[in-house]
Structure 1
Amino acid sequence: MPTRRTSRLTIAATLVAAAAVALSGCSSSGTATSTPAASAASAISADRCATNKAAGTITYITGFQYQASASILDILAAKQLGYFDALCLDVEIQPGTGDTAGNAQLVAAGTATITDLGGDADLLLAQSNGVNVTGIATYGQVPITTLMTGTSITDLKQLEGTTLGQKGQLPPEINAMLVANGVDVAKINQVVVGYDPTILPRGQVQSLTGYKSNEPLTLKADGDDVKLWNPEDYDIPGTFGTVAANPAFVSANKTATEDFLRAAFHAYTYCETNASECVGYAAALAGGGASYDVDHNVEVWQTETGLVKSSQPAGTPLGSLNTDLMAKEISFLVDSKQLSTAPDVTAFTDPSIVSAIYNGTELIWPAP
């Protein structure tokens, strides 16, 4: 979910400095002294360490560059804080372009190991298109997509005959919301647009898809008044921050897969109260400078973690796959003709990964 300013893909020298600061103050026992960083192999048994090392390099592709989203920022922070090292994991992070469907294809092919998708619906649609990946976690249990219009729009049917801007495809939750409101989607002129939301108040499009944690924040900061049409207000289910992995890797490397999420969720908790520090790591990876909007990304992170917290079912830990919610998503995808049949989700999801790293709702850290 890109910010209004794209990030440079080169890793500047500031990354080295940031990593050095992050890894300073480590203790041999794996507990933090002046910083929360962990020493290499300090939180794991020798046998588990050997098993994780044998898994080889885990290549993680972000959903979009180094944006401070849930399922991206916490993984960047886990790398910089030494949490992956503490679990003997060799993690390589590559910035994605925003093409999450393409990322899923890379993971299915084994070119990459793990990526974050837009949500469970994207996982379902990937499977229906023959892209074989395994869903191992989901962060947010509410749609993060939104449809923005001018304040003069009071009925979605008014969008028929107008132009809608989207990022390559109409998000399934938005499509379902339009259909549920009696809109003939074929009568809307859809165009692919970039990541500048000001095209909406300028009148270049009459509606624009986006993310609650991104474009509305930009428009609000610019003083533009727009109306948000949210799928959940029309009983359209949704999720965000779905983590997908290569099925063969998961099958052969259960402990490494578990510990990847363990380190990510450990960093997530830290970043909840240290947002600026964690965003600083992302900024360093992006090369620093004016091209990375730090303040905006802090807002992105705080908005998304707020959505994760407010949507988390009681008594369940972060990352849990919600089979009941997924069943509802399947139903709306079938009803809106985005899926032809209801798939067997047990064939491409593995809830045991998350359950193995928690004691109830408490993350087990360090690893057993």
Structure 2
Amino acid sequence: MDRLRTALALGAAALLLAGCGGSDDGAGGGSTPTGSRGSAVSAQRCEDNEGAGKITYVTGFQYQASASILDPIAAKALGYFDDVCLDVAIQPGTGETAQNAQLVAAGTAQISSIAGNGDVLVNVANGVDVQAVAMFGHVPVATLMTKPDITDLKQLEGTTLGQKGALPVTIEAMLRANGVDLSKVKQVVVGYDPTVLVRGQVQSLTGYKSNEPLTLAAKGEKITEWNPEDYGVPGSMATTIVNPAFLAAHRSAVEDFLRAQLKAYAYCEDHAAECVADAAKLSQAGYDSEHNVQVWQTETKLVDGSLPSGQVLGQIDDASVRTEGDFLVQQRQIDAVPDLSKVVVPDLVPSLYADGQLVWPVP
């Protein structure tokens, strides 16, 4: 079970820092808040939301330009949280998703991004009390990179595979599905420089679709990506978790947090560079804004492209979570799938929509 937590946490850390914001003129200089306090809600709902107090939201990793990080930053910068009378503090996560879950369970934070449904299930199976209310991508974000001369994964037997501290469970399942004897593959821990692959220091390298392949492409390097979903391996990305007691006491605040986030997500799809500009201001370390625009565009493509027919953006459903849970049991990451009726809140996000459109302002 520790292996999955480590893999997911390091996966988040593999991505570079990013940022967000927006202005209608497309100049990329940061967002200009719009509307006014409570402009999107009734006076009573405004009062109810203000009663929730300060909401601390922990990102998956710093201010990277990923789904469920860039969009909440944008919602704050654009004034969407203010429009629904929410006082939101965005706290950068360290990349340790188990820590995020523990912060939310303890009530130190009320809402957080976490790597995916699998990470939620592992934490809950370990006794961490959180609930999942939203999920953006219905696809694993992990990938395995090789040089183009590898045309069959069986060729990796007798070679060296680079990973970030643990082999992601989705990558392991993909390799086993292709008949790879992992005892014949030497695994070494590498850093976050993907050029170790093209320099021949490793013959395969685990990474994330929205990060390392972009870096190598920018350098003109050609690689092959081997993706778990192409071999029937389930996965997800950008799940939102909440403190159960907070949700029970302040459901309208959680609804309107997600409502503002989803509105900002749509804005950032059209204004990626502007949104990256605001998160860049929050970062305490240098980052490549151009790269992070590509990170955002890659992740939103994954999110939009994996959205099941008949579902709305952000919707989480019991069936897909159970599929991942059964997979984790099969891979011996958890002993049993937790009671999903206590873990997943499937009706929250759909309630934010009418006829497939996000409701804004709130009636």
Could you say which TM-score interval applies, normalised by the shorter chain? 0.7 to 0.9
Out of 300, 322, 326, the position equivalent to 2:321 is 326
What residue number does 2:340 align with? 345
Of the structure 1 ranges 42-51 and 73-82, higher mean CA displacement relative to structure 2 is found in 42-51
1:111 maps to 2:121: no
What is the Cα deviation at residue 367 of structure 1? 1.9
- Indicate the SS of the match to 2:348: helix
Out of 50, 53, 57, the position equivalent to 1:53 is 50
What residue number does 1:27 align with? none
1:312 maps to 2:307: yes
What residue number does 1:22 align with? 32
Out of 91, 115, 119, the position equivalent to 1:94 is 91
What is the Cα deviation at residue 202 of structure 1? 2.3
What residue number does 1:251 align with? 248
What residue number does 1:262 align with? 259
Alignment of 1:179-328 (within 5 A): 179-287=176-284, 291-328=286-323
Shift in CA distance, 5/155, structure 1 to aligned 2, threshold 3 Å: same
Q: Is the 8 A contact 1:141 1:238 kept in 2?
A: yes
State the one-letter code of the partner of 1:212: K
What residue number does 1:33 align with? none
- Indicate the SS of the match to 2:299: helix
Q: 5+ residue gaps in structure 2?
A: 1-11, 20-27
Alignment of 1:137-176 (within 5 A): 137-176=134-173
**Distance (whole Å) between structure 1 residues aligned to residue 18 and residue 296 of structure 2:** 16
Of the structure 1 ranges 46-55 and 176-185, higher mean CA displacement relative to structure 2 is found in 176-185
**Distance (whole Å) between structure 1 residues aligned to residue 125 and residue 58 of structure 2:** 22
**Distance (whole Å) between structure 2 residues aligned to residue 4 and residue 295 of structure 1:** 14
Of the structure 1 ranges 346-355 and 203-212, higher mean CA displacement relative to structure 2 is found in 203-212
Q: 5+ residue gaps in structure 1?
A: 9-16, 24-36
Q: Is the 8 A contact 1:18 1:284 kept in 2?
A: no
- Indicate the SS of the match to 2:206: strand
**Distance (whole Å) between structure 2 residues aligned to residue 168 and residue 135 of structure 1:** 27
**Distance (whole Å) between structure 2 residues aligned to residue 305 and residue 206 of structure 1:** 29
State the one-letter code of the partner of 2:43: A
Out of 349, 352, 364, the position equivalent to 2:359 is 364
Q: Is the 8 A contact 2:17 2:63 kept in 1?
A: no
Identity percentage of aligned residues: 57
Shift in CA distance, 204/140, structure 1 to aligned 2, threshold 3 Å: same
Shift in CA distance, 22/168, structure 1 to aligned 2, threshold 3 Å: farther
Of the structure 1 ranges 214-223 and 331-340, higher mean CA displacement relative to structure 2 is found in 331-340
**Distance (whole Å) between structure 2 residues aligned to residue 130 and residue 158 of structure 1:** 41
**Distance (whole Å) between structure 2 residues aligned to residue 365 and residue 347 of structure 1:** 29
**Distance (whole Å) between structure 2 residues aligned to residue 163 and residue 247 of structure 1:** 44
What residue number does 2:71 align with? 74
Shift in CA distance, 55/186, structure 1 to aligned 2, threshold 3 Å: farther
**Distance (whole Å) between structure 1 residues aligned to residue 292 and residue 141 of structure 2:** 16
What is the Cα deviation at residue 2 of structure 1? 4.6
What is the Cα deviation at residue 164 of structure 1? 2.9
1:113-152, Cα deviation, whole Å (9 max, x unpaired): 2111111111112222222211110101111111112223
State the one-letter code of the partner of 1:205: V
State the one-letter code of the partner of 1:361: G
Shift in CA distance, 89/192, structure 1 to aligned 2, threshold 3 Å: farther
